[in-house]
Structures are given as structure tokens and as C-alpha cells.
Chain A
Amino acid sequence: MRLTLDRRDGAGMAGLFLSPLLAVALTLASSIVVFWLLGQDPWRALNVYFLMPVSDFWGVQEVAVKATPLVLIAVGLALCFRSNNWNIGAEGQFLIGAICGGGIAVWTQGWGGPWVLPLMLVAGMAGGALYALIPAVLKTRLRVNEILVSLMLVYVAELLLDWLVRGPWRDPFGFNMPQTITFAPEATLPLLFDGGRMNLGTVITLVVVVVATVVMARTLKGFEIKLVGEAPRAARFAGFDDKKLTLTVFAVSGALAGLAGVMEAAGTVRQLLPGFSPGYGFTAIIVAFLGRLNPVGCLIAGVFIAITFIGGENAQIILRLPRDMTLVFQGMLLFYILACDTLILYRPRLVPRRAPA
């Protein structure tokens, strides 16, 4: 026996609904087995993983805090990936955004006003966009592969941040430790509700999701992005300039990653320090693909991934599972979701060996 896939005629509605349901069912079934093997009460474990993070308003806000940068970066990356531009370096653009915005917070400390925050956001976006344009320009001018350039620039951004917070931007009253000052109130994003950390960044992200959805579905640019990705030759015949598009999508995704970075700095962490990002730029790549490169999909996927991260923390705290177990569990979840996605496009069948090719 072997497994074959038959392409469905059109996007099967059944699959569209069945896929997530099956993923959930499989996940539940195997988590029950895994937790049972680990000597945990499966129901309690599932509760800790998936329900506790959203069991009250504070928890929901924390999910939003965690999901916001993931969704924002993923929406930008989706534009890149759709048009076959492999921006792997969103992590670097995220850090540069944080550096550019955070730099303004450091520089205006003590004499800033209400104009500081908007300026920071703009600077973060500009920084992220310019940083993303490096691989884009090298790609369009000299056909230098963007995977390599964008990935290498991640490490450069990390080291730049490291140098800045140890040297020029070090907190003068911070015992010479590698960190900037804690940002002044006018350089921090306002919180939305009492008793939680959700800030204006989440609202901005939701707006970006809506705008991106409209652009993709209703505008010529959106059509161009999809066409270049799916039928590059047809796009060329249609007169679309794929080099200009490469520059555009890199700039936009860099700007969004940069915005995510500055909002993380100004909203959640409120200072710059090494190890500032837990790898949001890389995780967002998964989010973009789980969301099927669609802005609303990215929103859903980002929230889901955020819940699994927080669930993993809860599992360490409540169930005393080691972190590595939570990573294994998260990896397993992702496998299931990806596998079940196949059902939307294909109908798997087991056929006898030696089936005619």
C-alpha cells in the first residue's frame, strides 16, 4: 500500500471546514496520548495549554501582546512570499525597526513631547523598509539571492543592537549594563485597558490586516502580486514590472516588520537590550504560511501560535513540564496543521503498490 494524493476539483468546501477540524481532533487525540505517557492528567494538560491562556481578559490581552508582532510581520511576509520574494530576514528588519524607533526615544529623553511616539513609529517603519531594500536592490540589480542576504543581515542587526546598547546608547545610570534607559511615557505606546499589557499596537495591527486584505482582494497591486507569484510569465506579458514589485513588497514587508519592532520596543519592553526578540521574525514565517499567505489567515494563525507559546509557558509553570517538551508539542501541532491543510487541495488515498504511474 502507498499513499497518493488526488487533486480535488476546485477548492472543496468540505475540505475547507474539515481540515481545521481534523487538525484539532488529531491534536487532541495525540496530546491525550502524549500527556498520558508523561504521567499528566490529559484534560488538565489540555486546559492549561489551550484554555488557560484565554480564560480571562488578562489572558486574552497577553495573547494579543504575543500575537501582534507575529501577525504584523507575517502580513508583510505574505506579500513577499506570494510574489516569490524570499524574505527570510524579517527578524533583522524587526530589530532595525526597534533600533531606529528606540534611538529616537533615547535621543529625545527629557525634552520630548507628544510628537515623539509618531516619529518613532515612522522611523521604525523607515528603518525596517530601508534594511529590507538591501536584499531587494541586490536581487533586482545583480540577481544576488535574497535568501542569503536577508538572512545574513539578521546577524548584522543583532550585533548592531548589541554594540549600540553597550556603547553609545547605554543607560548612563544603569551600572554600565547593556541596556538603554527605560523609555519616557511620551515614547511608550498607550495601554488600552487597565490591568493588562495590550497596547495601541494591536489596534494598528488590526488596521493593517484590514488594509492588506482590501489591497490584496480589490486593487490592481494585489492582483499584480498574485499574478507575479503564480504566473510570472503572464505577469510580464501583462506589462507588470517584476523588479519594481520586488522592491515594493520588500519595502512594505520591511516596514511592517520594522513597525512591529518599534511597537515591541515602545509598547511591551520599553527599552532596548540584547535578546530583545524571542525570534519573532522567524516564527512569523511559519505564521504567514499557516495563514495561507492571506492577511486574515495570518491573523488567525498568529493568534493560534501565540496561544501555543503561552500554553507552553503555562505548562512549565502549572504542569512543571520542561520547556523542551513544550517545543516538541508545538512542533507536533504544526505538523498536524500542515498535514491537514493538504485535505483542502487533495484527497489522499491508499492504493496498492505498483499503481500505474
Chain B
Amino acid sequence: MTLSRRNVLAGASALAASTALPMAARANDPLGVGFVLIGPVGDFGWSTMHDVGRRRMEEVLGDAVTTTQVEAVAPPDFDRVVTTLARAGTRLIFTTSFSYFQPTLRMAEQFPDVMFENATGTATRDNLAIYNARFYEGRYIQGVIAALKSQTKQIGYVAAFPVPEVIHAINTVMRGAWSVDPEMRIRVVWANAWFNPGVEADAARALIDQGCDVLCQHTDSPAPLQLAEERGIHGFGQASDMTRFAPNAHLTSSINNWGDYYAARAQAMIDGTWAPADTWGGLDSGMFQLAPFTNLDPEQASHAERVVAGLRDGSIDPFAGPIVNQAGEEVIAEGESLDDDAIRSMNYFYQGIDVSMPG
């Protein structure tokens, strides 16, 4: 028996045809949409918000879709989960983590009739689209507001892992903060977890004890924001509107809002207009939203609103040159701006950020 790719593909499609479960074939059947989640749906962060998006899509499209969701799928299980989804008649599969990007490429090749969408992926193919939101725009606004609120001129950042998404977010927070006050500084703690409330809280305590009086968080739980409330400082919510967790500390939240995107993509499948795309939606796309500003005085609020407007109309570009890295090298010159791939793969801190690059 040979092991050529052609045979593997032939085998896979033969299997798909022979399976006991019917493939969704007829046109008026509801569209089967699958979601593969990296965490448990109850993480109250990244995976919860994808679940919220899925339910929003069901709401919008009603009987036209049926959805399936598999939680906490580890990399070795990914291929099997996707194959089972495909065999159960799922035609559109959202894989919601970068950890799934390589395996999604592989499965997209194996199932040419199934359309895939990978969140935070970096390349497309015939039946693979990628999508993400420009969360860094929210980070820029957080930086601006933090600089307006801070007395100690120190921002604390509870970070999960040093991935480009987090690194460019830290850089952007400081870009925003420096636009108000060039003396702003930042301290970062890596929690080495996307959600571990206890450690997030301890990290927040450490940052506050070191003199930070505005907390940004790049982890899922409301623990850092609650700590900010308890200690009488300020903070931002992550993934959903966390105002209720910290009525006196909350400034704004970045809300992940995938529902409209999911609904639009599923509708495109139904209409037969689905095409692979690289969607990286900013504030204007609605893929992420800001919770209403709280605990800002009118002057601070209007400053923040001006920044929001500037980001929306493009007059503020968080990645405009000149950008100088920690080593003092100019990454991009004045008058130019980083392209999307450079933002996506960012692995350096800007000059003036006194944080060492882990790993």
C-alpha cells in the first residue's frame, strides 16, 4: 500500500461517501456550521465569546442553519473532530485558535468541499478564509485613557503569553499613552495562562503593589478588574462588557463581537457567494466594540471619543512610522506605516518600553 497524498485523499472521500451519516446534500437542508473551540465554553473569555457569536448567528439566520460546537479540542484531536464534523454534514467550520492554523490548512486540503475559517490565521486557500478583529485599536484607546487617568504614570499589563497579538497590543497601549503623556511607563506580568483567575488576580496585585494605578488585561477572567475595584484604581474589561464587575474601576471594555461576521459568512454560504477572504475588522467593522466609557470626567471622555473617531476615519494610525525598537533600530521610517503581516508577526517592543522579550 502506498502512502501518496492522492491515495489518502481518495480514501478520505470514499470514507466520507460510505459513512452512515448523511452528507448535507440537498439545497434546502439547513446549513451545517461547526465550531472548534480551544478552551471550555465557560471560560468567560475567548471561547465564551465565540459561543455568544454562534448563538447570535443562530438568532439571525434561524432555521437556515444548524450549529455544532466542540469545546477544548487539543491539537492531536483536531483532525478527528474536523473529520467527524465534515462527515456529519457540516459545510462550514470555524476553527477559533491560531493553534489550529496548520491543522486547518491540512484539513482544508483533505476536505475540498468543506469551507473553513480560521480565527487569527495568516494565510488563505481556496476553501480557507481567515478572520480576526483589530483589537489593537481598542488597546490604543486604553492607552490614551490610562494616561488620562493615571497619577503614578504607570500602567500595569496582565498578559497571557508572548504571542504577536499580545506584543503588538502592549506596544499599542504605550503608543496611545504616549500620545497623551510621553512619560508614561508600563509594567508587564506574564501569567502563562489565558485563563487562571487566581494567577491573574495575583499578577494584578503584584502590579498594583509595584505602583501601577491603571490595569490593562490580556487574559480572560474579570479577576484583574475586580482587583482594581478592590484597590481603588482603574482597569479595562476584556472580551465582554465587564462594567458590572467593577462599577467604580471600569473605564471601558473591548467586546469581542463575532456574531454578525458569523451570520454574514453563513449567509454567504447559503447564497453561494462564500469566498476565501482575509478579514481583519477594525472598530468600524463591529467585530469588536467598546463598552460605554465609565468613570471618566466629560473632558476625558471627549478626548477618548476624539481618539475613537480618529481611529475610525483613519486619521490616527497606531502603526505609523517612525517606530524604533528596544535595540534602537528604526523598524519603519516616518511617513510610512507597518503592513498587516508586520503587525501580525510583531515580536519586538518599542523603545521606551522597559520589558524584556520572554522566550
Which A residues have a C-beta under 8 Å from some C-beta of B? 52, 55-58, 62, 65-66, 159, 162-163, 166-167, 170, 175-179, 182, 190-191, 193-197, 264, 268-269, 271, 273-278, 309-310, 313-314, 316-318, 320, 322-324
Contact = CB atoms under 8 A, between A and B. Distances in A.
11 contacts: A58-B15, A166-B359, A176-B164, A194-B10, A275-B38, A276-B74, A276-B76, A313-B80, A317-B70, A323-B41, A324-B40
Contacts of B71: 316, 322-323
Contacts of A55: 20
A58 B83 contact: yes
Contacts of B179: none
Contact of B161 (A166, A309, A323): A166
Given A175-B164, A273-B99, A264 B70 contact: no
Contact of B80 (A159, A273, A274, A310): A310
A66 B81 CA distance: 12
B210 interface: no
Interface string B57-77: 000000000001111111111
A19 B213 CA distance: 62
A105 B71 CA distance: 30
B341 to A, nearest CB: 7
| Contact residues on B (Cβ < 8 Å of other chain), bracket | 35 or more
Contact of A191 (B3, B74, B75, B341): B3
A191 B3 CA distance: 7
B88 A176 contact: no
A317 B74 contact: no
A194 B88 contact: no
A85 to B, nearest CB: 28
Interface in B1-20: 1, 3, 7-8, 10-12, 14-15, 18-20
Contacts of A324: 40, 42
B122 interface: yes
B302 interface: no
B81 A313 contact: yes
Given A194-B3, A323-B40, A167 B102 contact: no
Interface string B309-330: 0000000000000000000000
B114 to A, nearest CB: 14
B11 A195 contact: yes
B338 to A, nearest CB: 13
